[in-house]
Structure 1
Amino acid sequence: MTHLQIQASRPYTVYIEPGAVNRLTEVPAAHEADQFWIITDQRVAELHGTTLHEQLEQCFPEKTRLLSRVEPGETSKSLSVYQTLLEDGVKQGATRRTLILAVGGGMIGDLAGFVAATFLRGVPFVQIPTTLLAHDSSVGGKVGLNLRWGKNLVGAFYQPSAVLYDVTFLHTLSDREWRSGFFELLKHGFLARPSFAPALLGLDLEAVKQLPMEEWLASGIAVKQRIVEQDERESGIRAFLNYGHTFGHAVEYASPGLSHGEAIGIGLVFASLLEDNERQAEQLVGLMRRLGMVLPKRHPFEVYLDFMKRDKKNNASIRFVLQRQGSFTLEEIEETRLRDTYDQTVRCLQWD
């Protein structure tokens, strides 16, 4: 049982334990709600819907439950699906006192959180993550949607009322979902002081699945907690949480079917080479192979450059989070250097 208190503009608790959904009884917004509006995807509904409804019935038998389901996958984090959810909420009778329960991975958390931030000018919501990857996205209050030009180009800062992280939900994850979440955990390992990344770099997929996950999730979330509490709206050091993401997001957007975390793995290799840290890049490549990752189709450098230019963190220049002598900085990188690093990345990954 692990509880973390996030001291954001709206403080809340992250509960990490088996059966964490039962902690909803400790969330004031749940008692104040007239009803619950569950937003999830069809896959999660099939896997965990029955358990979730039983838990809610036990905790709040008097509360009505609304339900909206979307297609699994990043394509649902779109303006069209967002509009459908808003209209579905109106049709089902959601009010300003309705509590949204975002049940699923990072896509659902971002999508349902943005619905919560904007529906009737804002209603409370609770994050109920069901994936390893969502340990990153469920904490910190970033919610939003993608556009065809890039990830998370529409969004808001909107803190949840609580995060209920039932680690038993992880037992149903596919190998790809384990890989995807693990690369985000590894990113937090690099950012931690002292770093816990070295303890993860030598693992294979089966070893990852055997980790005492409650402990490791808490370690990853604690890194994000420390940064978000200092810089909730990303005016400074919160940008460091994008380590590996600038090139990683470009790869993700150019590679339909590639998971977010897998793309971040490639992005971490790219960032390591920008740092002239070839040893770390080689360790990451070895890790990717042990985890069973299959590289996506490679595109010309110009394709990734175009996506990097549209990244919401960049202005006229392209900026990367890089590690220098034990600390992190945000640096502007010239196009010629990016091209050279791309060529290095292709060779390091043996990316045909």
Structure 2
Amino acid sequence: MHRWKFSALAAAAVATVGLYAPNAFALALGPITVQSALGEPLRAEIDLPQITPAEADSLRVTPATPEAFRAQGMEYSPAITRVQVQLQRKPDGRTVLRVSSDRPINEPFVDLVIDANWNAGRISRSYTMLFDPPTMRRAPATVTAEPQIPAAATAPARTAPAPRPPVVARTAPVAAPSTSGDSVVVKAGETAGRIANAHRPADVSLDQMLVALLRANPDAFIQGNVNRIKAGAVLQLPSAAEASATPSGEARQILAAQSRDFNEFRRKLAGAVPAAEVAASSRAAAGKVQTQVDDQRAASTAPDKLTLSKGAVKGQKSTEEQLAQRKQANEASARVEELAKNINELNKLSAASAAAGTSPAPAATASAPGAPGVDVPVAAAPA
């Protein structure tokens, strides 16, 4: 049990940027789910895959300081000063961190670094939250995706009319380590951390297995970064000897450097959104959009329609202005949607890696369903 807990923590430390926990062997910060839209007060939840009652009693969670943000390559937004974090027990038995603010979030991308302290140690993790416009939201958007519910969970309902046993999916054993020469196909939503943790030999650390996977399959990773694995790629699984060839300390340093590079890539991509908004404003100020609409109307109107009275011309211009504004809004929405799609995909790759080694987490939380509710208010981080 202790070995599994250490592996789960190692997976989260490798797959995420800015994650460290010197003395933590159980508590881990899971993915964040954003429940609010752009222009609304922040509402989000951070999953805690495993936490003991003793850890819950002493846990104190706050947003990190601006210096900690900069140290991890994250941008500190003024909105973070109003963010509060509370520990909550959900009706289904899960324990989460409730992240909220009392003021609207008006930026499409907001970085967040969380510091968690308890009696036995300390852990930190960074996130990039994506906020969709209200008109684009049909359901709560998740910044990070973790496929915790396998397809096998619904199989009993299809194969037999008898009541399905809920414990079957929870007690499914972890895949046995593969021998040398085996291969695996990367499915959509899978991460290198999850694959490495499922197939690593018993005497090989997760760091070593990830580095061995990367070196054995360089074409399966975009720009050679372990956080950017290609869906559909066929991975050749290294043997125990190949994975052990890289010392554990060296493997950890390699993955830490790759995490910093991946975080810098995400930061640059998120910074492209304000530039797109400025470009849209410049076009509107120059009147280029309206001129294009006027030309299109003129080209599609018969010549005898040009002899309209002054009153009719005014009405036509008013209609054209409305069309121009509508077109501009549609173009802006399309750009935001495309950027949102790109960032959401990157966040899926990054944060799903954080829970790579914590797939048995539901069983851990289910072991204490009768635990009393815990609500630990946390003060907002200093400006």
What TM-score comes out, normalization by structure 1 length?
0.25
Structure (1 or 2) with the larger CA radius of gyration: 2
Q: TM-score, normalised by structure 2?
A: 0.23
Comparing both chains, which one has the higher relative contact order based on Cα–Cα distances under 8 Å and sequence gaps of 6 or more?
2
